[in-house]
Structure 1
Amino acid sequence: MAMEMSSQNQEFIDWKGQKANPKKHGGSIAASFACVVEVLENMVFLSNAINFIAYFISSMNYSPADAANMVTNFMGTSFLLTIFGGFISDSFLTRFWTFIIFCSIELLGLILLTVQAECPKLQPAMHKRPSQSQAAVLFIGLYAMATGVGGVKASLPAHGADQLNHGNQKHISSFFSWFFFSLCTGGLISATVMVWIEDNKGWNWSFKLSLIALSFALCIFISGFPIYRYKLPAGSPLTRIFKVFASTFRNWKASPAMVHNTEETNLDSISDGRPNNKFRFLNKALSDGSVSAVEVEETKTILGLLPIFATTIMMNCCLAQLQTFSVEQGNIMNRKLKHFKIPTQSLSVLPLTFMLVSIPCYEHFVKIFWKKSQGGYTIFQPLKRIGLGLALASGSMAVAAVVEAKRRNAAIYSGATISVFWLAWQYLLLGISDMLTLGGTLEFFYSQAPDRMRSSCTALSWCSTSMGFFFSSLLVTISDKVSGQFGKAWLEAEDLNHNRLDLFYTLLCVLNLLNFLNYIYWAKRY
């Protein structure tokens, strides 16, 4: 369904603005810079997301509930702003400059937060909420970071994939696997080294180390500029889409014969000679000559991607539980391992380790079983990986419901606390689900996107994460109100032992199962 642009638009340039030389520019080495940078960038992002809870409560004197909402909103906004970052990258700047500008914005936000953390005058007095000026400094720094994260995550994977030959789907698929490997490596460092530092050296060290790491990541990325190849922006993709819809509306009464003749006339302008037979009503836009066949095909492709994007939101809603309710569960479970007390945030080490091991194994099997089908894909095609990930999300919530029921019954009826390692199953299943779904969607949206909209479409993967976080909060509110009408709200009590988190997990399991069936419907029709 992907539609390529004309050969002229597909050309890349070097840093001097001349046509890129395949022997000097791009390739695996140039793409590897994006993977190395992602390790440091994701480590900074996740370690601060963990660190912010302690910082907001202990230093800024926010309540635990307010602090949790602030962190959730920060992460949700960061992922949502990838759409803005992708739009800038596709419309006005190269992906190289988009990364540099937004990484610098993230760095400035981190500097502001670091200064505030080290300056007593910028912090509230003990047991008092921040003043308006102190809160302004905090939120400016926080959302400068969120803005920077949005642009970085939208541009970095697309920039890395741009370095490779788009005619070799195997190389593109391999890049996104290793990019996800880098993302997991950054997550593993944040869940181990950074968590240990924050617990033993204090939360203020997290800001300092993050500042150094992000500065180093920016320097590494810039150092590769002589061997990168660059894709020039092609103008606003939203403008082109709106033009297609406006032209379709104007020519809605065009006769079928006129539309057919227009289709035949514009067939040669499509580089692969195969127009998309779905959303044929958009072909009416060609009737008055105000838009090109390429613009119509772009719009069709975007419309085809949206159902796939929508079906991944529910999985990310489950993923949000690992940073909210799962942490609360872990805090009241037995976390002792001989003489060592396990930080709940470090439970993610298990799935991250599994994913780091599984990605090289996956790449090995890809080399063995790589067999191209008629459409150029393999048994490891992204749609199948996404589907398996969505199925595992439903299974993880079923396991989570059973574990929570076991934990709650033990606490209420025998006063016992079961081991925190019981949570490892849901962490493991959701970790694998995230690997398959996020890795699959990054590759799928990049590969299927129109050439001039790759950053925007890649950003859909991160935007799905954002909407999953926000939908999680909405679902908690709705389930509380509905369950409250039939007795007691499931999640209103402060004591987790008096809540029915197991029923909430069961609800998520059912919703994910229905979502999986919905995904199968759309994936088969893609």
Structure 2
Amino acid sequence: MVGSTSHQNDGYALAPEDPNPPRRRSTLLSVCPFILGNEFCERLAFYGLSTNMVMYLTRVMGEDSGYAAVQLNLFEGTCYLTPILGAWLADSLWGRYFTILVFSIIYFIGMIMLTLSASIPGLTPPPDLYPTELQSAALYISLYVVALGTGGIKPNVSAFGADQFDEADPADRREKTSFFNWFYFSINLGSLLAVTVIVWIQENISWAVGFAVPAVCMALAVMVFIAGSGRYKHVEPSESPFSRVFKITWAALRARRRAAAAAAAVFPDGDNTSGSARNSLHSNGQRVRFDPMPTIYSMGRGESESSYSLREPFLPHNNNTTTAIIDNRDVDGTTTAGTGNSNGYTTMADDGVNSAARKASLAWMDSALEARSPGGALSFTRQQVEEVKLVIRMLPIFFPTILYWTIYVQMGSFFVVQGAHLDRTVVLPKGLGTFEIPAASLSMINTLAIVGLIPFYDKLLAPALRRAGRPLTLLKRIGWGLVVCLAAMLCASYVEWYRLKLFSEGHVIGSAQGNGSVVDMSVWWQVPQYLLIGLSEVFTSIGQMEFFYDQAPDVMRSCSMALQLLSVAIGSYLSGAVVWATQIVTSKLDPFGFGWLPKDINKGRLDLFFLVLGGLMVINILHFIHVSLKYEYKAVEHIKRVAPRRLPSSGAGGGPPRPRTAPMPSTAPSAAHPAVARRIQGSAADSPAPQPYGRSVTFLPQTPAMPAPFR
């Protein structure tokens, strides 16, 4: 009978005449636990490895404090660089599921190698001796295998979790917000267990066991992720924005070289032609000037006193139109007529987004519009070139944020070394004895500070400033974070100066496991510097993430968010370079050859090193103020597309589905959507078609407020 037959709907056999079909399974409860379990185990493994690594390098491997800090900085920098590779593979070739799986296995292999390097006799040096080449190779190869493994997980797990939810389903939309809450809870729980339980095992039982536990956790992460394979939804890979940025930039540079060769042929050396004529070429009756040197940005006022303009280096400007080279092709490749101006150049009237990008962009990249595929078709549209420009225009803000991360990573290296030379004894209540806090465990103060300060900023400080008429823009937020970071360095320098003073006066209570004496000074003196670093994250780290996310075109979000990861990576590498240079220079100036950062910091001047970092931050803050005062926010709405869903009939007050647009932020207007460069209104037909870009390293909740190291 027809009434007894059934059909498949979302995996369930439903009778057509059944007025109350069974409820579909909850995505959050049936699918996401496998993803959340993977993330929890992976983060516990990572922080169980990295949080106390500087102590392993100095105590077990016998390295100097400075050398240990350099190696840790290089490792952490690589951990934030490889996610760009992982995001590209997921978006372009493998998809997120296969990328996460492959890199999780690589990660696990690295953890096994690290555990073996700490367990097998002969792979660690005897006490008070430096490691051999074999011993160093066993350790560092395993670390960089782990760094490679984390590159495929960090940028893809949150996006893969978001893939599981159907935007057309109201229940799924609600559950997706809950997913991100549980996602960040898993991260923080894994981190908390790592900096307490795992670090305690390493300090009090053995390093081999302390590395074996994270390795077991990583094995569980792989197994849990595989266990959910039959339930996952998959998004097919497409072209990555990273590929598009590279292709357009490369095409523009090649076109410039060809133009330079043509200019050299027309005006050979020794020609008496004037410079202005020599820099002018003619094509189809249009005069186009050529500037042989591309520039990222030039400092100077734009159309308003407060604007920050990425100047086109070879085109005139006026207050009414934005001048640009026009190739007589519209966004879709069709031919349009340009308008002329009194200077004889072809101009394009201000059309919103695209003209804003050209006004503050690298005009030399317009050369990419002439690139052609092997079949002779044009390779890139105006829209695609403008998207890349809008990403590149954020570079002047990107560069000053690098030094923030250079200072931030000191929390995992020299803050821990400093804490190991302080009194870490805690008296337990009711006569239960004493307990020695691992120096690395103090980093949980930073985490707790962030958890407490984010609601304070979001619910109290920011609204109060808005009511007072002094709202914090994103750039102001970043700038104040840099100032707080400077205060953290000054605080750490003072603590170290006072610690050395007590040491010189003989206030010593014990040994720091072969690396010098412990000073009779409580480790709680370090609390303010950890709190200040946490406060700086609330301002700079989260502000930087929101700035890059907000000021990029929608389809290039992953490139803009990659700038966040890249700034952490470069900052970590820069920290290693600064530490290395400081120790080299100061050891030559020190008559005893210890330098500022020796194995026993009681013989060094770590306080002066912190002051050097503070001095660099002062210069960095001045530069940041200079560029941020000239930056012009882009005030065009982003487009938020959702799948169509059933609405009430028109008689019930409903109507046809309309596109949903995200509200424009009040403090920092969003970047332009790169398609048509106009405010989106009206029906769905007005919206440009979705672009085939991947979105790894971009998927964030509505309030992307989470501690920086956990992203």
| TM-score (norm: length of structure 1) | 0.77
Equivalent residues of 1:106, 1:148 under 8 A apart: yes
Q: Which residue of 2 aligns with 1:350?
A: 445
Q: Which residue of 1 aligns with 2:237?
A: 232
SS at the partner of 1:262?
coil
Report the residue type matching 1:319 in the other structure: Y
Equivalent residues of 2:38, 2:225 under 8 A apart: yes
Alignment map for 1:70-109 (pairs within 5 Å): 70-109=71-110
Equivalent residues of 2:95, 2:235 under 8 A apart: yes
- Aligned to 2:330, which of 266, 288, 292? 266
Over the aligned positions, Cα root-mean-square deviation in angstroms equals 4.5
Cα gap change, 1:157/1:521 in structure 2, threshold over 3 Å: closer, same or farther? farther
Q: Which has the larger radius of gyration?
A: 2
2:483 paired with 1:391: yes
Equivalent residues of 1:114, 1:208 under 8 A apart: yes
SS at the partner of 1:418?
strand
For each residue in 1:203-224, what CA deviation from the matched residue of structure 2 results, as whole angstroms up to 9, or x when unmatched? 2223332123223334455537
2:547 paired with 1:472: no
Cα gap change, 1:436/1:70 in structure 2, threshold over 3 Å: closer, same or farther? same
Alignment map for 1:94-493 (pairs within 5 Å): 94-120=95-121, 123=123, 136-159=137-160, 183-221=187-225, 223=228, 226=231, 228=233, 230=235, 232-234=237-239, 236-237=243-244, 238-250=246-258, 253=281, 255=286, 260=324, 262=326, 265-267=329-331, 274-275=353-354, 276-277=357-358, 278-281=360-363, 282-287=365-370, 289-338=378-427, 339-359=434-454, 382-413=474-505, 415=507, 417-449=520-552, 454-480=557-583, 491=596
Equivalent residues of 1:105, 1:147 under 8 A apart: yes
Report the residue type matching 1:354 in the other structure: A
Equivalent residues of 1:244, 1:295 under 8 A apart: no
Equivalent residues of 1:309, 1:460 under 8 A apart: yes
* Structure with the larger strand share: 2
For residues 484 and 148 of structure 2, the distance between their equivalents in structure 1, rounded to whole angstroms, comes to 31
SS at the partner of 1:81?
helix
Report the residue type matching 2:209 in the other structure: W
For residues 395 and 325 of structure 2, the distance between their equivalents in structure 1, rounded to whole angstroms, comes to 29
Cα gap change, 1:387/1:62 in structure 2, threshold over 3 Å: closer, same or farther? closer
For each residue in 1:306-329, what CA deviation from the matched residue of structure 2 results, as whole angstroms up to 9, or x when unmatched? 333322211111122223322222
Paired positions, count:
494
Q: CA deviation at 1:45?
A: 1.1
For each residue in 1:77-129, what CA deviation from the matched residue of structure 2 results, as whole angstroms up to 9, or x when unmatched? 22232333233334323233322221221112112333454444x73685687
Equivalent residues of 2:325, 2:366 under 8 A apart: no
For residues 549 and 37 of structure 2, the distance between their equivalents in structure 1, rounded to whole angstroms, comes to 20
Equivalent residues of 1:93, 1:233 under 8 A apart: no
Cα gap change, 1:358/1:147 in structure 2, threshold over 3 Å: closer, same or farther? same
Identical aligned residues as a percent:
31
Equivalent residues of 2:28, 2:179 under 8 A apart: no
Q: CA deviation at 1:421?
A: 0.9
For residues 32 and 287 of structure 2, the distance between their equivalents in structure 1, rounded to whole angstroms, comes to 47
For each residue in 1:36-66, what CA deviation from the matched residue of structure 2 results, as whole angstroms up to 9, or x when unmatched? 6444322211211245456556766767666
Q: Which moved more, 1:441-450 or 1:202-211?
A: 441-450
For residues 151 and 493 of structure 2, the distance between their equivalents in structure 1, rounded to whole angstroms, comes to 33
SS at the partner of 1:265?
coil
Q: CA deviation at 1:426?
A: 0.7
- Gaps of at least 5 residues in structure 1 are 1-13, 15-22, 372-377
* Structure with the larger helix share: 1
Cα gap change, 1:368/1:501 in structure 2, threshold over 3 Å: closer, same or farther? closer
For residues 180 and 214 of structure 1, the distance between their equivalents in structure 2, rounded to whole angstroms, comes to 18
Equivalent residues of 1:153, 1:459 under 8 A apart: no
For residues 588 and 63 of structure 2, the distance between their equivalents in structure 1, rounded to whole angstroms, comes to 31
SS at the partner of 1:346?
helix
SS at the partner of 2:393?
helix
For residues 432 and 314 of structure 1, the distance between their equivalents in structure 2, rounded to whole angstroms, comes to 16
Equivalent residues of 1:262, 1:286 under 8 A apart: no
Q: CA deviation at 1:491?
A: 0.5
Q: Which moved more, 1:66-75 or 1:414-423?
A: 66-75
Q: CA deviation at 1:257?
A: 6.8
Q: CA deviation at 1:462?
A: 2.8
Q: CA deviation at 1:384?
A: 4.5
Cα gap change, 1:438/1:408 in structure 2, threshold over 3 Å: closer, same or farther? same
For each residue in 1:449-476, what CA deviation from the matched residue of structure 2 results, as whole angstroms up to 9, or x when unmatched? 5566544543332332232222223223
Q: CA deviation at 1:262?
A: 3.0
SS at the partner of 1:298?
helix
For residues 441 and 295 of structure 1, the distance between their equivalents in structure 2, rounded to whole angstroms, comes to 25
Report the residue type matching 1:408 in the other structure: L
